[in-house]
Amino acid sequence: MALRSMTGFGWGRALHRGLAVEVELSAVNRKQFDVHVTLPRTLLALESRVYDLIHRRVSRGAVTGMVKVSVSGQARQRSISVDMDAARACVRELRRAARALRLPDDLTALSLVSLPEVIQYEKLPEDTDRVWPVLRRALREALGQLAAMREREGAALEADLVRRFAALHRQGDRVKALAPRTAERYRRALRKRLEDAGIELSGSEPALLREIALFADRCEITEELVRLDSHFRQVSRLFASREPVGRSLDFLCQEMLREVNTIGSKANDAAVSRHVIQFKAGLETIREQVQNLE
């Protein structure tokens, strides 16, 4: 499975016996999973089911959305009703106000249309168990579109990251080629400084020579290079994984940065330092891209 981006959009619609449900979803980058979907007041009891269904398809990122439920077609016509109690109360109070204000009593049947809450053109079902199967179909369609968009963008990100990691690996190989000479070069430079300072090494105490050797050995960067190679192998395995890998790649980038910083501080070598700087610049670009992955 290709890598998935955290950004995307999806829309779904489902119909059943005059009941129409539309779902709109959008997702953006976020380190953790977060979801906020606006539901009609009568369907708030379904909020947890909506959350669970989204979380099955999305493990990372912020998802926002909106659910619209309506009655359509012939069902809409059958749903028109008049609240007779409200109509009588409104007419009675309006006529009382008209008499008090000495206004003409010109109420007609058409006046009922403008009276609040007297005529109900649409009545949504209050039985959430009846609505849920329709909502679930619309939500799954929206999630399918969202996932498809995230996978398309993720494929583009994967191609870019594979190329960038390969370039980074080459920088690591250049440092590895310089590594065998680093400690010996530093040992010779240290000896020369001591000799320039007037310290005759040939007659020095064995302890001093031992300290020089130990100090030079601190420039050894083999362990860091081995761990760096291990991180690159793990990156390759993650690209072949079927699970979301954004967090894992982000962690490996942090570990690579740790190793290369150590290499730069230990090597004390101008050539190695140049490659370390280039490595860190490439790694920073990769980390920015990884922040977009689920």
Closest CA to 36 of 61, 14, 57, 13: 61
Rounded CA gap, 67 and 187, in Å? 71
With tokens 């309006």, the residue in question is 94
pLDDT of residue 12: 97
Residues 143 and 16 in one domain: yes
Please state, rounded to an integer, the average pLDDT across all residues of the chain. Answer: 84
Q: Residue 94 belongs to what domain range?
A: 82-120
Single out the residue in 120, 143, 178 at which a domain terminates: 120
Residues 69 and 196 in one domain: no
Residues 86 and 138 in one domain: no
Residues 136 and 217 in one domain: no
pLDDT of residue 3: 87
Rounded CA gap, 140 and 149, in Å? 14
pTM (predicted TM-score): 0.69
Rounded CA gap, 57 and 34, in Å? 13
Residues 175 and 231 in one domain: yes
- Residue 204, SS3? coil
Residues 191 and 262 in one domain: yes
**DSSP-assigned letter for residue 115:** S
pLDDT of residue 179: 78
Residues 215 and 87 in one domain: no
Residues 107 and 225 in one domain: no
- 160: region left, alpha or beta (phi > 0 left; psi from -120 to 50 alpha): alpha
pLDDT of residue 282: 95
pLDDT of residue 210: 62
The answer to whether residue 239 is domain-embedded is yes
pLDDT of residue 108: 82
The answer to whether residue 1 is domain-embedded is no
Q: With b meaning 16 or more CB within 10 Å and e meaning fewer, what string describes 126-156?
A: eeeeebbebbbbbbbbbbebbbebbbebbee
- 149: region left, alpha or beta (phi > 0 left; psi from -120 to 50 alpha): alpha
pLDDT of residue 127: 73
The answer to whether residue 3 is domain-embedded is no
The answer to whether residue 2 is domain-embedded is no
Q: What is the DSSP string of 2-71?
A: ---BS-EEEEEEEEETTEEEEEEEEEE--SSEEEEEE--GGGGGGHHHHHHHHHHH-SSEEEEEEEEEEE
The answer to whether residue 180 is domain-embedded is yes
The answer to whether residue 110 is domain-embedded is yes
The answer to whether residue 269 is domain-embedded is yes
Residues 40 and 129 in one domain: yes
The answer to whether residue 214 is domain-embedded is yes
Residues 197 and 276 in one domain: yes
Residues 234 and 109 in one domain: no
Q: Total structural domains in the chain?
A: 3
Residues 168 and 112 in one domain: no
pLDDT of residue 217: 57
**Can you list the residues of the chain whose pLDDT is less than 70?**
1, 72-80, 116, 119-126, 182-219
Rounded CA gap, 247 and 293, in Å? 8
